[in-house]
Structure formats: structure tokens, C-alpha cells
Amino acid sequence: MTKNDTVRAKNVFDLIVVGPGSAGFSAAITAAEQGKHVAIIGGGTIGGTCVNVGCVPSKTMIRAAEAMQARAVAQRFNGISGEAKLDRWKDVIDHKNELVLELRQAKYADLLPQYETISYIEGMARLVQNGVDVGGQQYKSDKIIITTGSHSFIPPINGILSVPYLDSTSALDLTTLPKSMIVIGAGVIGCELGQMFSRMGTKVTLLCRSNVLDGAEPEISEALTDYLRDEGIDVHCGSVYESIEDDGEICLRYQYEGETHDLRAERVLVATGRKANTAGFGLEEIGVKLAKNGGIIVDDFLQTNVAGIYAAGDVTGRDEYVYMAAYGAKLAAQNALNGNHLHYSNHVMPAVVFTDPNYATVGLTEAQARSQGIDVKTSTLDLKHVPRALAARDTRGLIKLIADGKDNRLVGAHILAPEGADTIQTTALAIKIGMTFTELGEMIFPYLTTVEGLKLAAQTFDKDVSKLSCCAG
């Protein structure tokens, strides 16, 4: 609670933030740094999705699963063997929970006492005229930012609500490792968790209506599909779900390549995306408009159609990444308190899927560029041409660059590589400053790094890099 008793007694704040996650804290801290009195309305676990049930727990579990690949990695090198085994699944889960608790405390709960003008109010919020109602107590402010996040979307498959399905949250809390698992959806969550469970020893079948990582460059989608299959995951693209039931084990009936199949497994993970948390906050009563996907509609300043009410993060139904939520919330707070002057932009928004190899992307895909009327030029480089990949004995992946043919400016970059996550930011900077592929190809890159592949991919626009010596060009 704030130490300013006068403000608290009046229940009047310069800003009220509804939602206790990364976006909510970003908005509140931004306001507090300006000396403003802020109320964060909880109504959920402090820290929100990312630290509690999203980024942090999933990525530490994915890292743990990488250790199970010791044999596969060792076999790439002559004269070396390796072995790893899962001793106790519950210990892995407990270790994950320890990290979640540690970061939740350090990055959220322990921060509150350091900001004297921030009040943390626990309870479910409902927007009312000139403020927010929490359990019958009203808190007033003419500036409100909604940062209530999102939840797992459950598709309307016949019988789905009658089976004990898992979502990304409950899957990471399983106390017993399933022997077999059906994963419905091959987007970010389906691919990441499907591969993680497979590496831990679960027999995984991955199904999707279209393609793996639908919307990604086709070359990358096809390559990742092959890599997942190489690891023993059954992948069925183009599946049409008919029904699901629990008759002692999960049975999913679906159509694939024109035939009806029954697929059985111990558990089923539903990974078909997320939906904005907008129900129960009184948004409709005060006139806040929602998009068709359920997200709150905001303008370039993050303001809704109702003056003084802003929204940021997953609740807007777009750019569902924690760093975009924090970025947007910071802008929303500055605009709410100082007048609309900062524009939200996702023009150079890097994104990563933590599969192995990583899929990292920024800017436009080839299809998006063409749809915008850009005179597209592309280059595609197989990792077999990247010295780092050769030295690591792991040439899985590719790099694809998109440029505007009129001036050779880079407009998109897409990387599938074991270290792609740590490589993509170079191209984000290149796109942001308007660099051409010629300029990128002329830059000095350290030898035997994955990022050097960007230089080679840039050179591939107008030369055959297989004819270059090491570090040439």
C-alpha cells in the first residue's frame, strides 16, 4: 500500500491500472516515476501470465528438455557418446516452480515497497463512471489502463468440455509425465511444448488445421515439420477435428487426407491460441468497443473509444508478447498522463519460437511484402553454408531475408537455427535504420558465429557464397 495516507483516504488516483502483470507494472512504474499516485488492481496472481504460467516456466522446462538430447548431440561428433535420463519428473516441476516463485517475488512483489506512490489493491475490478469498483469500494480516476491479459482459447470441438484437457498452464503443472499426448494446434505453444514433452519421453502427436507455425515462411514451416518428425513426433497438418471423448483414455476423432481416424492418448493438450480477458470488467456497460477476436480496440495512442480509458498487452488481442505488453503499457501511461503524443509501433517487432532449432522473425514475410505492393527480392541461405553450423555439426535450418527491390532496403528477416533467438536482433536493428542488404553484407561479423550467417544471407542476394573462402567478401 502507498505510504501517502491522504491519497488513500480519498481513494483518488492519478492513474488506475487494472491487471497485475508485466503490462500493469510497466504502466504503474512509468507513472510513479513521474511522481503520480497509481493504483494497481490485482484480481489474479501478481506477475500475470509471463512469470507465472507463460514465458518463464515454459522456457526453463524447454531448457531442461534440451538436456535429454545428450545422446543425439554427442552422436554428431566422432568418438563421443552421451546419455541423459529423466530421474524424477516431479523434481523438474518443483525446480520450475522455485524459479517462478523467485522471479515473482523479486520482480513484482518486492518492487511495490520501492514505489511510495503505488497502491496495490487486491480484488476483481469493474469499471464504472469516473473510476473502478472493487468489491463495493470505489476508486476514482479519470485515467484508466486495462492490462488484464489473456487466457487459453478452447476450440469448439464436439465433446471438448467433457474431457480433462490440458492447456499451457495445467500442462506445466502435471505431477506425472504422460506416456502419450495429443497436441491440438501447431502454433507457438503447440510446437514448443510438444517438442518439450517429446524430449522428456512422452509419445507426442501434433495436429493442426493448416501448417506448422502457420503464417511463417513456407520454407521454415516445412523444415521445422521435418525436424520435429525426425525427433519422433507424429505431425499431421490439414487435420479436421470431429469429436473428442474420454473412455478411460482420450480419443480424438479427426479427418486427415480424406479419411477419418481415431487417435488415442493418455492426455490431450489444447494449444490453439489465446483470447483476451475482457469479460466481467464492465467494459460493455461503459461503452468500450471490442474487436471480433474479443480484444479491446485501441488507437495508435493505446486509447479506447472511451476518453481516458486505455488498454495494452494481450487484452488488445494483438502482438501477444510480454515485451510488447510492457512497451505498450509504458506508452499508454505516458499518453494518459501527458496527453496523446507517443505512437505505438510494431513495425520492427522481433519474435521467437523456442523450438530447437529456434524460429526467429522480424518485419515482413515474403507474402506480406508482396501484398503491400513491394517489389520483393529474397535470399535464402541453408545453414550448411554457415561455418558455425558446420563446426557444431548441426546444419538444421535456414535464413531468409526479404528486401525491397527498388532500393534494396531490408524489410524482413526469418531465421530457423539452433541459436536463432540470439541472432534476430541484428536484423531488427538493420530494418529499423533502413539498411540495405548490400550494407549488411559489407559489415564485419565475428567468424564462427550464427549471426555471421546474416552476412552470408545478405551476400546471397547477388552472389554464390559457396564460392567464397572463409570470411571472404
Binding residues for NAD(+): 185-192, 273
Residue among 339, 327, 354 nearest 418 (CA): 354
Cell of 27: 504502466
DSSP class per residue in 272-310: S-EEE--TTS-TTTTT--B-TTSPBP--TTSB-SSTTEE
Task: Return the C-alpha torsion angle 82, 87, 93, 94, nearest 10.
Answer: -120
Detail the residues annotated as belonging to a binding site. Answer: 59, 148-150, 185-192, 273, 314
> 108 by DSSP, 3-state: which?
coil
List 417's β-bridge partners, or say none.
358
Residue among 182, 193, 196, 195 nearest 265 (CA): 182
CA angle in degrees (0–180, nearest 5) for 276-153-228: 120
Buried b / exposed e across 318-349, counting CB within 10 Å, b at 16+?
bbbbbebbbbbbbbbbbbbbeebebebeeeee
Detail the residues annotated as belonging to a binding site for FAD. Answer: 59, 148-150, 314
Q: What letter represents residue 416's amino acid?
A: L
Which run of H or of E encompasses 414? strand 410-417
DSSP class per residue in 239-253: -EEEEEEESSSEEEE
Residue among 238, 188, 230 nearest 213 (CA): 188
- In a 13 Å sphere around the CA of 1, the CA atoms on its Cβ side amount to 9
Residue among 150, 147, 149, 148 nearest 30 (CA): 147
Evaluate the omega torsion of the peptide bond into residue 357 and state whether it is cis, within 30 degrees of 0.
yes
Distance set, CA 209 to CA 4, 182, 220, 277 (Å) = 55, 14, 17, 25
Q: What letter represents residue 102's amino acid?
A: E
Residues 6+ apart with CB under 8 A from 67: 84
Q: What is the C-alpha to C-alpha distance for residues 54 and 61, in angstroms, rounded to an integer?
A: 11
> 25 by DSSP, 3-state: which?
helix
Torsions phi, psi for 170 (to 5 deg)? -70, -30
Residues 6+ apart with CB under 8 A from 200: 64, 65, 68, 86, 89, 92, 177
H helices present in 33-187, as ranges: 48-53, 55-66, 70-74, 89-107, 168-171
